[in-house]
Structure 1
Amino acid sequence: MASIQYYDVILKPLVTEKSMAGMAEKRYCFLVHPEANKTMIKEAVEKMFAGAKVKSVNTMNRPTKTKRRGMTVGQTAKSKKAIVQLTADSKEIEIFQGL
């Protein structure tokens, strides 16, 4: 595995109805690098967002799906989703403020 820097760990925020409802409890969802572990995700969130203190990180691997287009068969890319819980005294993440 190549060394992954903290700015390569978080790919993009995941905006769904369920993730928006979790923001009330300071719970944020991100799509992350498939090779990243929980420690890397925690460090990346604390470095990228000033004042954020991570309480816990839960991760889920989303497997590939087989897709067809006529006779051609392929697979989608695998991905990983992380749910980050911030502490009560932590600042909120500004990316989600305007949503």
Structure 2
Amino acid sequence: MSWYSVDGVQITLRLHIQPGAKKTECAGLYGEAMKIRLAAPPVDGKANQSLIVWLADFFKVPQRQVQIKSGETNRRKVVCISGSGVLPSTLNPN
């Protein structure tokens, strides 16, 4: 199983989030998920908002096209992105 899937114009990502990092970056595969380090703290939804902003910028879509489908209060998240022409495989630093 891959850490992402593409179905038409929708991309689904399986992510493992590490909030409170020194900088926001992709850190490679973590099991069946892509690990993302976030500079934002895990307080008051700041990490989730930071993740949405970062992914929207990477995938070149408006923030409204990035949705956390599951794991809002968990490190494991499923995120859906619609309407991006950027391939998820380019997110992998390896």
TM-score of the pair, normalised by structure 1: 0.44
Computing the radius of gyration from Cα coordinates, the structure with the larger value is 1
Greater helix share, structure number: 1
TM-score of the pair, normalised by structure 2: 0.45
